[in-house]
Each structure stands twice: as C-alpha cells, then as structure tokens.
Amino acid sequence: MSVGDPETVTDQSTRPGATPQPAPTPVSPAMYKRLTTGIGGFSMAMLACLAMVGVIVLITPSSDKETLPTVDYAPHTRVLLIAAPYTSYVPSGLPARWRPTSSRVTGERGKEPIAWHLGFVTPTDEYAALEQSDERPDVFIGRMTNRNQRVGTQQIAGASWDRYFREDKRQRSLARRLPDVTLVVTGTASYEELAVLAGSLRPQKASPTPRPTST
C-alpha cells in the first residue's frame, strides 16, 4: 500500500480499470455495543421470561371441570314477595359448601304461573336445584322430575316428600305438594343431599302492606 494524498489511503492491489469500491463506514464502539450487547441482552431476557412461563404452566394444576360462578339469589326472593301469589320457600342455614350457581324467576302474575329456579353445586360436586311454582302440581312435577310415577316417600323435617328417579339421567327428585305451591328438589345429588336442601326450606312471609295514614 502507498500513501498518495495525505487524506486518502489507496490499495495498489486494485486491478487497472476496476471500479474503486467505497470504503466501509466505520462503526463507533458505542454503536457496536448497542447492536450486539443490546440485542443479545433483549434475547436473553425474552428466553428467561419464556422459561418462567413454562415452569408456571408445568407446576399449575390443570382441571377439566368448568367452574361456575356463584350468584346472589336474595334479589329474587324479594321479587317473589311481590310477584308470587303463594307463600314462597327459601333455603335457610345451608352449609357453607353449598354454592348457588343459578337463579331465575319466570312467569307473570295473573297470566301464567310464577316459578322460581335455584341451582346449587353440592359439597360432593353434584347438582341440586330447588324448583317451585303455582303451576298445576301434576304437570309441574312431571316436567321437573321427568317422571310421572313416584318410587317411594321420604320423611324430611316432619314432612312427607315423594321420591322420583330417572336412571338414564341420574336424576333424583323429591316433591312436595302444598295448598298454593308445589316444591321440587331435583338433580344428580344423592337423596341424602337433596334432603339437606329440602329440609332447609322455610316459608318466606310477605311484608305486610302498610296502611294509609289518615290526615
């Protein structure tokens, strides 16, 4: 190599007539550090995060069971006081592991029966529901139990309940006919658990209508 211009360095090995190639742009040490150390550091951080996620996935227990939300059915008990033309029955004193998962009131007073559905997950992870309505008892019981013939009776808290069973659905039911309402406790729970729900039912007394004050 020879020095021609003080500001220029040429390479004598370039063949005659060849187009001179531009010299590469120098990279400062700071830029080099950002292009290498920065990307490498970012990559290592990402790999560490992925490894942590993998460990969490491995140690977290998995379950195929769907977790149903817990509902507050107190508002529907107040609706029944106003809408239902009968004395409604509400669970009272159920053990803490009875978890309410569904509640709905259907019907319109004076036009169709008023019904209340209240579903629970039991302590053994089975299903149990309270159904009550002023619909015609035979029709209501047949529809709620999927059976027309009872298979026996069961005494619960001094009251007699009729037993129903549908084998293909694993459905057990207890039914009680009262003068103005029919109660059905049904589900995949055992008769023992259904009896706990049936035995917890208490009549809900409507609040007395306040008398108008005289002026």
pLDDT at 67: 73
pLDDT at 209: 46
Phi, psi of 193 (to 5 degrees): -70, -40
* Beta carbons of 146 and 169 less than 8 angstroms apart: yes
Distance CA 95, CA 101 (A): 15
pLDDT band at 205 (very low <50, low <70, confident <90, very high): confident
Residue 78 tokens, joined = 């107040």
Distance CA 193, CA 63 (A): 25
List, for residues 139-189, the tens digit of each pLDDT value.
999 999 999 899 999 999 999 999 999 999 999 999 999 999 999 999 999
Higher-pLDDT residue of 68, 1: 68
Q: Model's pTM, two decimal places?
A: 0.67
Distance CA 69, CA 174 (A): 26
Phi, psi of 39 (to 5 degrees): -65, -40
List, for residues 37-71, the tens digit of each pLDDT value.
555 555 656 666 676 666 564 665 554 556 778 99
Amino acid sitting at position 56: I
